[in-house]
Amino acid sequence: MTATEAPIFTAWDQRDAQLWQTQPVRLAHRLHELPLFSRAGLAALIERYPSQHYNLVHMGPAGQRRFWREGEIGNLSGAEVLTAIEQGRIWINLRNVAKIDPAYRDLLKQIFVELQQRMPGFSTFNEGIGILISSPNAQVYYHADLPGQALWQIAGRKRLYLYPNTQPFLAPEHLEGIALFGHEMDVPYEPWYDEYAKVVELQPGQMMHWPLNAPHRIENLDCLNVSMTMEYWTDDIRRRHIVNVANGILREGFGIAPRSRATAGPAFLAKKVMQKALRNRDWSPKDKPKRGRPPVDFRLDPARLGQIVDLKPAGA
């Protein structure tokens, strides 16, 4: 079966279109039935995926938060990579799969054609999808994203916690920090926030879309997980981004607490010009340098799937 033979969304209620922007919406899909997402299809994709376009992360021992190392798959086959993830504490993110592979590009196009058919006026650009394959019990910590976001579950089960995109769960300075420095994970989290979360257990064939910037975190259940992350921009999201960058520059660079988050009018236009001129300077506070990609320092162990081998640092 190809992606184009039948709709990707297998159920759509009129109210889903009405709820799309302001509430978390769970939809049914059939990606998990496509050969592109079968175990063999994913193994083949991993084997042809350029290493500069994936992140392979080892999470460290259980219970150690944020001890992340980046690595490479080495000479494992795609099937062995999947087994290693199934048996280890690893995730691989095939970022931007639609840019790398035409079959996934066609799928992305079809998804947005269907969304536009169901929501006339839903006009997007810079759409992207990534495939995230992660170990049993892996977690994604509390964070917020700038573009529109959805999560498609393809294999395994995970629990998604979605929080309101308002204070105290998310403040303007957090969005500014993400826009200016890429500090997605620096949004503070308190365990009691969970009392205000919408908690959804996602299974294959379900997709979740949530309101813009809504903070979220994810816990895999005790099984290998395959998910697809999707993002997109609209004119409104782009305008909000411009405000986040400009207000961040005002706050961090000039010590001014911005009062307006307007996305139209003279103040917005002034910010648009200002941030374009200044956004490429390094505005990072000295104690929070801009994050770069950590160096690759391990390889998957071909002899013990799920384990890793340390790479010697260059020059050592």
Residues contributing to the site for Fe ion (CB under 5 A): 145
Q: What Rg, from alpha-carbon coordinates, does the chain have?
A: 20
Q: Which residue is nearest to Fe ion (CB)?
A: 145
Residue among 101 and 145 whose Cβ is closer to Fe ion: 145
Residue among 213 and 247 whose Cβ is closer to Fe ion: 213
Residue among 208 and 242 whose Cβ is closer to Fe ion: 208
- Taking the complex as a whole, the smallest distance from the CB of residue 96 to Fe ion amounts, in Å, to 15
Residue among 105 and 143 whose Cβ is closer to Fe ion: 143
H helix intervals, the chain:
14-19, 39-48, 78-87, 97-100, 102-118, 172-181, 235-254, 266-278
Half-sphere exposure of 287 (CA within 13 A, CB side): 1
- Taking the complex as a whole, the smallest distance from the CB of residue 208 to Fe ion amounts, in Å, to 11
- Taking the complex as a whole, the smallest distance from the CB of residue 139 to Fe ion amounts, in Å, to 12
- Taking the complex as a whole, the smallest distance from the CB of residue 143 to Fe ion amounts, in Å, to 6
- Taking the complex as a whole, the smallest distance from the CB of residue 217 to Fe ion amounts, in Å, to 9
Those residues with Cβ within 8 angstroms of residue 131's Cβ, 6 or more apart along the chain or in another chain: 42, 45, 93, 94, 97, 226, 227, 228, 229
CB burial of 10-22 (b: ≥16 within 10 Å; e: otherwise) equals eebeeebbeebee
For residue 219, which phi and psi values (nearest 5 degrees)? -125, 120
- Do residues 231 and 127 lie in contact, with contact meaning Cβ atoms separated by under 8 Å? yes
Residue among 80 and 145 whose Cβ is closer to Fe ion: 145
